[in-house]
Amino acid sequence: MKKLSARRRHPLAAVVVLLLALAATGGLYAAFAPAGKAQADETAQSLAIEEGKKLYTVGCASCHGTGGQGTTDGPSLVGVGSAAVDFQVGTGRMPAQQPGAQVPKKKNIYSQAEIDQLAAYIASLGAGPITPTEKQYSPEGADIAKGGDLFRTNCAQCHNFTGEGGALTHGKYAPSLEGVSEKHIYEAMQTGPQNMPSFPDTTLPEKEKKDIIAYIKTVNGDETATPGGFALGGLGPVSEGLFGWIFGLGSLIAVAVWVAAHTAKAKKS
């Protein structure tokens, strides 16, 4: 006790107290200053990248390489961007299971939070298309008729007139667009998976992407979108022609046979 009070009276005591007080004020300021938020975001971001890297090492590195540089089993992911990851993993295409002409869709095994972490990690390897926000892909207020025009000029040659999908060469195919989420449609246009060309904002601005999404959702999601009867698979003139041939011509032939049979009978009697 005596020792302590002796030190308090030491000539340097005041200086030490002052320094401690200054350090405390500085520390408190750093903790509560407005800059704290930006720093917190940055920390969250680097945390997501770190978590994503762990998920990547377990689930993806075997094909895409430890640093995403690619191997003989999978392409490089440097610069594909978070949108490509969100699309590929969100639709269940990735992680791919076996080699083939085209990686099929399957049940997605990652939560959206994990997909975001994977996307953050891969986006950190190189800049690329960024996962769209709801404001970007929501078709609200979009022009459906314009979307139909754009769809017919840009997409129908592969996905068919109402997005039913169709076969391509070498065992590849353009899938049906029925039930695909608005976000995944947007991302498919941004990133151009597989044999599909990509449609960056320079060729297809955000507004036109929205119009296309609105069109796809209208022709695919809505039962009333087939006025006038059966959709016949929505395959257009081919199936309609086939229907005409089989049922139309078929019934004409049946009538002809019937008439012939009755005429023959009438002659005999």
Copy the structure tokens of residue 183. Answer: 């976000």
Determine if 177 is a binding residue for ligand HEC (CB under 6 A): yes
Determine if 158 is a binding residue for ligand HEC (CB under 6 A): yes
How far from 1 is each of 17, 70, 82, CA to CA, in Å?
19, 69, 64
Determine if 91 is a binding residue for ligand HEC (CB under 6 A): yes
HSE of 81, CA atoms in CB hemisphere, 13 A: 16
How far from 14 is each of 9, 206, 209, CA to CA, in Å?
9, 65, 69
- Site string (186-225) toward ligand HEC, x via CB under 6 A: --xx-x-xxxxx-x------------x-------------
Site for ligand HEC in 19-48 (CB under 6 A): none
Copy the structure tokens of residue 6. Answer: 């002796």
Question: Around Cβ 63, how many Cβ atoms within 10 Å?
Answer: 17
Judged by CB under 6 A, the residue of 48, 155, 214, 219 near ligand HEC is 155
Closer residue to ligand HEC in complex, CB, 202/269: 202
In the chain, what is the greatest distance between 2 CA atoms, to the nearest angstrom?
144
Residues near ligand HEC (CB under 6 A): 59-60, 62-64, 73-75, 77, 80, 84-85, 88-89, 91, 93-96, 102-103, 105, 118, 154-155, 157-159, 168, 172, 174-175, 177, 180, 184-185, 188-189, 191, 193-197, 199, 212
